[in-house]
Chains A and B, each alone.
Chain A
Amino acid sequence: MTKLLEMKNLNVRFKGKRTVHAINDVSLSMDQGETLALLGESGSGKSVTLKTLLGLLPPKRSQIDGSIHVNGVDIMSLRGRALQRYRGGEVSMVFQEPALALDPVYTIGHQIAESVMRHKGVDKANAMSTALDMLDRVRIPSANRRLHNYPHELSGGMRQRVMIALALACRPRLLLADEPTTALDATVQIQILLLLRELQKEFGMGVIFVTHDIGVAVEISERVAVMYAGQIIEEGTTHEIIRDARHPYTQGLLAANLHDVARGERLSAIPGAPPALEARPDSCPFAPRCPVAMPECRADLPPMLAPGDRRRVACLRAAQPIAAE
């Protein structure tokens, strides 16, 4: 079967007053129907990765190298009509802020139907009934009535559901979700995560779910790729990442998580802050904060080690098991 996604040696650089090396040599592959969480702190390059996948970066200011194939199609070569068909058809996106995707001047039914007509070439009546069906599937109560509502007439949780309905209406093979639950209450967040999990199974689509929250990654994904300074520094199944993290940064993130920490006990914080990406990293970007750094780490980029099937870690220490210190 063709790979759902094959991204090879992606590099993205933004030019301007200050050059930003946002993505540095990222490779990523996904099978059909897989759910992957892209985990990382702010500025680590998660959103830029997704935007590159959808061809949404400002063309004048960004320099993109590498190759991306979705279902065997080289998406960097898509232009015009073909690009339109790919966006929202083959691959679609759910944003953190529904305002980015929903147009305030049209009813939600109209917006979903419009997208279905454009991508599937069906008539208005058919598209409207697809829209109604989608609102039902994302569990909007009294969907028939809500079809005629404007976005501002809905609560935050409902708007997020509508955006999911819009994104899924054309049955994409790959859904990109950029922190779609970060702005929501925990009670609503868990509703949306479980809904996405169900729809993913039902539609058999692949999902890349961007988050900075390990707990959310655990709830939604089978696999996790951890980003730091525009690189993927570790990848594995969710189980492997939670139970057997090998990169000191991943281990630090897990330790800094407050789940199960006793009150008042000193937290094991990672010192310092992520690097500014003004230059392309030529040594381990985590070295300034790493508790087990060695002189070699500052000399060269660490090699990507593969301790298991589809398991990878970019750390010199990952070759030998790290003793818990």
Chain B
Amino acid sequence: MSVTDTYQPTPDTGGPAQPLIRVTGLQKYFPVRGGILGRTQAKVQAVDGVSFEVKKGETLGIVGESGCGKSTTAKLLIGLVEKDKGEIVFDGHALGERLSLKELRRGVQMVFQDSYATLNPRLTILDSVAFGAKVQGLDNPEELARKMMDRVGLDPDRFAHRYPHELSGGQRQRVNIARALAMSPRLVVLDEAVSALDKSVEAQVLNLLNDLRAEFGLTYVFISHDLNVVRYISDRILVMYLGEVVEVAPVDSIWQEQAHPYTRSLFSAMPSMDPDNRTKEPPLAGDPPNPINPPSGCRFHTRCRFASAVCKEAVPKLAGLARNGDHMVACHLHDAQSGHPKAGQGVPE
């Protein structure tokens, strides 16, 4: 029996046209305590009104600066953080209605950046990989675990009885991937899963992720701060800024034209790789503002070169571009009716 035959995903209920996951108006504010009484002083608006869907077999990449809410979004998707508001629908079933948290976790698994912190140091690699599958009550969890280890390039005879500290970073990340896959999920959320790896090892793991996606028909949500990695692995890219979605588009479309001024800055911040043509000016000044008290209107207006009066007052809505409705952006420049003096002409140079 091959490893594909032992894979035990939950059945597809809605057919290929139904998105595997759809979230609407997701919100999470974290209370920040302070003062002598430890009372809630303020709230970090980590995720605010985030909506998107991921089609079956698709990879959605999420990018944005540190603290913009990528990991919180990921944790909301697997129910690791409880949402304040919003709806999560997995293959047609809404969480809390026809879908329990346990059922959601059966279908969605997560791989984190820090491969060391997420493995129990006292469990052998085999026990770690088989653990979730056992808890979920899958058939033959140990056999499944051995096959999955073999599949991610860790010879079970050599590695099954080792402990996490006896492995390299790249090997530990393979263990994490094997562990997630042993639960036979349909959606895998990868949060900076290759970021801690050396470049030569990163390429190995990305190749592996591509192979596994094809073999098990997986759907990925792939979070990274590295645009080149996200471009390589994703079908569509979603850009977050201070808890909100500012742009979401097919990879080729966004690579060709970044419709949001923030996305444009983010892309120009990539090192040039050309010694004759080094970066001359930083595309953005300063750090992102504090998410406890985000700017009014368009949250990017404090750093945007094109901000005008309307940007401070009105929140721009996420809408499709005229030339390509699949390319969505939230910026007054693209809405002819917004009242922005330069509206309707796209982003100026």
Q: Which residues of A contact B (CB under 8 A)?
A: 41-42, 141, 155-158, 185-191, 193-194, 212-216, 218-219, 238-239, 242-243, 252-253, 256-259, 261, 263-264, 266-271, 273-274
Contacts and interface: CB of A to CB of B under 8 A. Distances in A.
B61 to A, nearest CB: 11
Contacts of A219: 271-272, 278-279
Contact of B283 (A190, A193, A259): A190
- Most central of A41, A188, A239, A258 by chain B CB within 10 Å: A258
Contacts of A239: 275-276
Contact of A190 (B171, B206, B279): B279
6 contacts: A157-B286, A194-B281, A218-B272, A256-B199, A268-B203, A273-B168
A214 B271 CA distance: 9
A264 B281 CA distance: 32
Pairs of residues from A and B, 8 with the lowest C-beta to C-beta distance, nearest first: A215-B271, A269-B203, A258-B228, A270-B200, A41-B198, A267-B203, A256-B203, A186-B269
Given A186-B270, A187-B266, A215-B273, A158 B287 contact: yes
Contact of A269 (B207, B227, B282): B207
Contact of A258 (B201, B229, B251, B275): B229
Interface in B267-320: 269-276, 278-288
Given A219-B272, A258-B232, A267-B206, A186 B225 contact: yes
Contacts of B279: 190, 193-194, 219
A264 B214 CA distance: 11
Contacts of A264: 210, 232
Contacts of B288: 185
Nearest to A215: B271
Contact of A256 (B169, B202, B278): B202
Contacts of A243: 275
B346 interface: no
Contact of A273 (B170, B199, B269): B170
Given A212-B198, A214-B273, A187 B207 contact: no
Given A256-B202, A273-B168, 17 more contacts: A42-B169, A141-B286, A158-B287, A186-B266, A187-B266, A187-B282, A190-B269, A190-B271, A194-B282, A213-B199, A215-B273, A218-B275, A242-B273, A258-B203, A258-B232, A267-B207, A269-B204
B150 interface: no
B231 interface: yes
A218 B271 contact: yes
Contact of A252 (B169, B171, B200, B227): B200
Interface in B64-89: 65-66
Contact of A261 (B170, B232, B284): B232
B18 interface: no
A187 B271 contact: no
B265 interface: yes
Nearest to B228: A258
Nearest to A43: B198
- Most central of B198, B200, B285 by chain A CB within 10 Å: B200
A215 B272 contact: yes
Contacts of B251: 263
A253 B270 contact: no
Contacts of A273: 168, 170-171, 201
Contacts of A213: 199, 271
